[in-house]
A and B are shown apart, each in its own frame.
Chain A
Amino acid sequence: MSSNRRGVGLSAFSNSAISADQYARHGQALRSNHAEALANQLSVFQAALHNFSLTHAKDIRQNPQFRAEFARMCNAIGVDPLAGSNVKGASTSNGKASSAWAKMLGSSVNDFYFELAVRVVEVCRETRAENGGMIAVSEMRKRIEKGRGIIGGGIDVTDDDIERALESLAPLEGGFKVVPLGSHRFIRSVPKELNLDQSTVLEVIQVLGYVTVSMLRDNLGWERARAVAVMDDLVSDSLVWVDSQASETEFWSPASMHEGA
């Protein structure tokens, strides 16, 4: 509007400066109102969540399905429990470890995921020589449920819990990543990217149990050299095991190792 009516003389300059200033002030007021409203809403919501978690804390800790639903709900409304607890050190200067999440749940749900993450890392390390650092999320779950051989050492978890626990490790840059392969999801604990050929082969192995060079040639139309090169790579990354007692050398995924009778 002010730009339409320019005015005349020198006062036009000061007029435009004044109106720009007024707009800015008004904008500021709007923004702060808005922020205040949001802060109110957030605190109301947090209070509600707090009450909810207090009444249901036991369920959250004990019932894996309930826990998954709860975590999903928090995700849906944009509260990331784990991210919340991870940035605490950087943002709070008083050194008090208090993420919104930890405050709300008395840190027990938080701790649950951290503890689970520790187990996941343990299993990854234990089995690395066997599977080259690729383990199916479902096998991870079985191993964790079995525990470390100590009575009562196992925890009842879901695949979802495991993936969430892994997310909590992200700030450590440990290279733990969940990658889909075929119909399964795998945890990759070595910082290595698979190329397209390699992941194709691993997918085929997930479906058929094993793979041979001529199977790759016939089904994917690869040249022999290409198939051999991919298999050599996978063997040297210890991602597959070799069986040379079949009519043609077979390559097996260590994932099927503990599934047999």
Chain B
Amino acid sequence: MATATSSPATPGLTTTPYAPPPTTTNLSSATFTLPSYTSFPPFYTLQPNLTTRARQLALWTNLILSYAAHARLFRLSLSAPPANLLSNPTLHRALSEPDTRAVLDHMVQQGRAEWIPAASRAERPAAVWIYWRSLAEWADLIYGWVDETGQKGSVLTVYELREGEAVGGKEWVGMEEEMLRRVLGVLVKKGRAQIFGQEEGAGVKFF
């Protein structure tokens, strides 16, 4: 579990305890059927024609989001993307890094992703949060669960929300702390929650 860290270092640290998700990713990718357009070779080359490109970006967004939802993927890193998502080994085609950035930029514009700032300012961000549900949707889900289980008014730790026994099987299980904090931030803004403390033991109270 993440030790007491300041937030800029979180990306580097959280990847280590997150060894399990990649395995589940691979397992579930076996059952994820890629849409037929992934065997269309030009799909992996960013189209020069802007109209065509707009369509292509929409298809890519669609693919990445449905894959992420299927594999419960919350973070996509450029250096280690899920196998066969950005490439098709049968066709020997792969989305190049600049093109991948273009796709992700598009998703960021659509509000379906967000760049995770790199550790140092000089570097370009190398990973994104994938919002296959928007932050607001996540906030509603979590708040709904808290409401259903009658935990309004009590204090839950962030850890409990992520990995506690009570949340077993919920869609947000395994969501990285950084992202969960953003979700909770939405609830805080709405006046439906309050966060105490910054560290791992941070508690959340729902109203």
Contacts of A256 in B (CB 8 A): 40
Interface of A is mostly: mixed
Q: Is A243 interfacial (CB-CB < 8 Å)?
A: yes
A4 contacts the other chain (CB 8 A):
no
A235 and B44 in contact, given A130-B55, A258-B37 (Cβ under 8 angstroms): no
- Alpha-carbon distance between A259 and B38 when the two chains are bound, in angstroms: 11
Given contacts A236-B49, A242-B48, contact A257 B36 (CB under 8 A): yes
Query: How near does chain B come to A56, taking the closest CB pair, in angstroms?
Result: 39
| Chain B residues in the interface with A (C-beta under 8 A) | 36-45, 47-49, 51-52, 54-56, 58, 92-94
Q: Which of the 9-residue segments A104-112, A150-158, A244-252 touches chain B?
A: A244-252
| A167 to B38 CA separation, bound complex (whole angstroms) | 35
Supposing A241-B42, A243-B42, A252-B42 touch, asked if A235 and B37 sit within 8 A by C-beta, the answer is no
Are the CB atoms of A243 and B51 closer together than 8 Å?
A: no
User: Once the chains bind, are B37 and A241 in contact (CB under 8 Å)?
Assistant: no
Query: A241–B42 Cα gap in the complex (Å)?
Result: 6
Known: A252-B40, A257-B37, A260-B37. A243 touches B49 (CB 8 A): no
Interface size on A, residues (CB 8 A): 23
Residues A216-247 near B (CB distance < 8 A): 235-236, 238, 241-246
Q: Give the shortest distance, in Å, between A145 (CB) and chain B (any CB).
A: 16
CA distance A225 to B51 in the complex (A): 25
Known: A235-B49, A245-B93. 9 other contacts (CB 8 A): A241-B43, A241-B56, A242-B45, A243-B41, A245-B45, A252-B40, A257-B40, A258-B36, A261-B39
Identify the closest chain B residue to A245 (Cβ).
B93
Chain B proximity of A36: nearest CB distance (Å): 59
- Inter-subunit contact A132/B93 (CB<8 Å): no
Asked whether, in the complex, the Cβ of B42 is within 8 Å of the Cβ of A129, the reply is no
Contacts of A244 in B (CB 8 A): 45
A236 vs B50: C-alpha distance when bound (angstroms): 9
B51 interface neighbour in A132, A246, A250, Cβ under 8 Å: A132
Set A129, A210, A242: member contacting B55, Cβ < 8 A = A129
* Chain A contact residues, CB within 8 Å of chain B: 128-130, 132, 210, 235-236, 238, 241-246, 250, 252, 254, 256-261
Q: How far is the CA of A259 from the CA of B54 in the complex (A)?
A: 21
Q: How far is the CA of A260 from the CA of B12 in the complex (A)?
A: 39
Q: Which residues of B contact A258 (CB under 8 A)?
A: 36-37
Nearest-neighbor residue (CB-CB) of B58 within chain A: A129
Contact B44 A245 (CB under 8 A): yes
The answer to whether residues A238 and B36 also contact, given A243-B41, A243-B42 and a CB cut-off of 8 A, is: no
Known: A129-B54, A132-B52, A238-B51. A243 touches B36 (CB 8 A): no
Whole-angstrom distance from the CB of B54 to the nearest CB of chain A?
6
Interface centre among B36, B42, B51, B56 (most CB of A within 10 A): B42
Return A202 CB to nearest CB of chain B, in Å. 15
Contact A260 B40 (CB under 8 A): yes
Residues of B within 8 A of A128 (CB): 51
Closest CB-CB distance, A113 to chain B, in whole Å?
29
Whether the Cβ atoms of A243 and B93 lie closer than 8 Å is: yes
29 contacts across the A-B interface (CB closer than 8 A) = A128-B51, A129-B58, A130-B55, A210-B41, A238-B49, A238-B52, A241-B40, A241-B45, A241-B47, A241-B52, A242-B42, A242-B45, A243-B93, A245-B41, A245-B44, A245-B92, A246-B41, A250-B42, A252-B40, A252-B41, A252-B42, A257-B36, A257-B40, A257-B43, A259-B36, A260-B39, A260-B40, A261-B36, A261-B39
| Residue pair A235, B48 in contact (C-beta under 8 Å) | yes
Q: How far is the CA of A238 from the CA of B43 in the complex (A)?
A: 14
In the complex, A246 Cα to B48 Cα: how many Å? 16
